[in-house]
Amino acid sequence: MATVEEGTESTEQGDDGEDDVHTGSLVSQSLPHEYESEAIKFNVESFRLDGTPLNDRGDLDEDDHYLSLAEVGNWETLELEGTVSVDQDTIEEVFPFNEWEEIPGRLALVKENSLAISRDRQILADSPLEGGAYDFTLRINRDGHRGKVKIRPFLTRTANGGHSGSKHASKVGARVADGLSWVVRLDERDDGGSLLMPIIEDFSDYDNFPDENHIHYLSLEAPRNPQLYLNREHPQVVEVLKNTGATGGPPRLRDVLYDYIEHSVWTQLLMQTARDTSTDTGEPEYSWQEDVLDIFLDNLYPGLDDDEAAVQLAEDVRSHVDIPDLVQRIESAVHQQYDIPYDTTNLIEEAIQSDD
């Protein structure tokens, strides 16, 4: 989620080869496969606001990979341009020897905005992957984001591997390398929320809301404009979710909680999108559903083009026979958008260090 420099902890091991949980990073220690942390170089070479150079607008700290636009008004789009580089040696470290001729890997920039509960990715290089520098242009629309936006490069697998029991990842979507993050801080919005920008309410005040035991609720009563609510009756949870810190227990816990909420939200949005998509044309009913399809169709139906996949999704949700399989595929597709073990391990690491 939107934290600064998550991967800066040391991952060194002692001379005897055993992991030191108090000085190393549990993220790399706990993963069941080879993982190269901070091995991908992420360079932003220019920032443009509404098509013009940033100049002295905003607070830019290139050393810390941080840009604040909190004090800058009257802009609509921030554009970042630069390169993401990955060495061939890094690629060969995280993929087994028998895959080196055609590396089943994907290099992508992942953009996450926890307060807007949204994330998306820009694929820079796909399978067969080769080492090198890849140019990117990434845009942040001010109306669609809130708080802090984190941008981070990841290297993932694009195919299942046949090397069970080896030290390398074998599942599609498994992350095997990353780089340092860039964080862009936007001004806080007070417009009452929009798509997936949560509104905080007392759930007990509304007959149509779930009971007070629920932390969040996604309202689809007006499918044109889904709205996410957080329950004020859990003040400690809400405070953690509103936390804007970079390090420490609360930010780590915030990341895990947002992963939990987002998983539920995306699953519901996908099901709603499937129901609202035409079985004839593959066109969804509302504009936000086009974004949902763009994010998930490749993982749901990897062998079909976008139009065919959208039609198939619409048909599957209407078929009682295919519903169980569809639900499983939706769960799998949504799960691939997250790295819940990574965020949870960060939280455990923080707790261990606090107790030390």
pLDDT single digits (tens) 139-191 = 999 888 888 899 999 999 988 886 555 688 888 878 899 999 999 998 755 54
Length of the chain: 356
Give the residue-averaged pLDDT of 26-51: 82
CATH of domain 31-185: 2.70.50
Q: In the structure, what pLDDT confidence band is assigned to residue 246 with cuts at 50, 70 and 90?
A: low
Q: In the structure, what pLDDT confidence band is assigned to residue 10 with cuts at 50, 70 and 90?
A: very low
Q: Is the pLDDT of residue 318 over 50?
A: yes
- pLDDT number for residue 256: 83
* Euclidean distance between CA atoms 110 and 329, whole angstroms: 22
> Do residues 348 and 340 lie in contact, with contact meaning Cβ atoms separated by under 8 Å?
no
Give the residue-averaged pLDDT of 283-298: 88
pLDDT digits (tens, 9 = 90+) for 48-71: 999 999 999 999 999 999 999 988
- pLDDT number for residue 23: 34
- pLDDT number for residue 248: 66
Task: Map tokens 């008004």 to a residue.
Answer: 73
Q: pTM above 0.75? A: no
* Euclidean distance between CA atoms 249 and 155, whole angstroms: 27
* Euclidean distance between CA atoms 27 and 343, whole angstroms: 8
- pLDDT number for residue 191: 44
Dmax (CA) for the chain in angstroms is 63
Q: Which of 263, 162, 154, 269 is nearest to 215 (CA)?
A: 263
pLDDT digits (tens, 9 = 90+) for 101-124: 999 999 999 998 877 777 788 999
- pLDDT number for residue 173: 78
Task: Map tokens 């998930």 to a residue.
Answer: 296
Q: In the structure, what pLDDT confidence band is assigned to residue 258 with cuts at 50, 70 and 90?
A: confident
Give the residue-averaged pLDDT of 36-44: 95
Where are the extended beta strands (E) located within the chain? 36-49, 52-53, 59-61, 66-68, 77-86, 105-113, 118-125, 132-141, 148-157, 175-179, 182-185, 199-201, 216-219, 227-231
* Euclidean distance between CA atoms 122 and 188, whole angstroms: 25
* Euclidean distance between CA atoms 152 and 180, whole angstroms: 6
Where are the extended beta strands (E) located within 213-319? 216-219, 227-231
**Domain residue spans in the chain?**
31-185, 199-355
Stronger pLDDT, 312 or 320, i.e. the higher one:
312
Give the residue-averaged pLDDT of 228-240: 90
Question: Which contacts (CB < 8 Å, 24+ apart) does range 49-55 have?
Answer: 49/75, 49/77, 49/78, 49/79, 50/75, 50/76, 50/77, 51/77, 51/79
- pLDDT number for residue 245: 62
Q: What is the DSSP letter of 168?
A: S
* Euclidean distance between CA atoms 269 and 295, whole angstroms: 12
- For residue 234, the Cα-to-chain-centroid distance in whole angstroms is 25
- pLDDT number for residue 18: 35
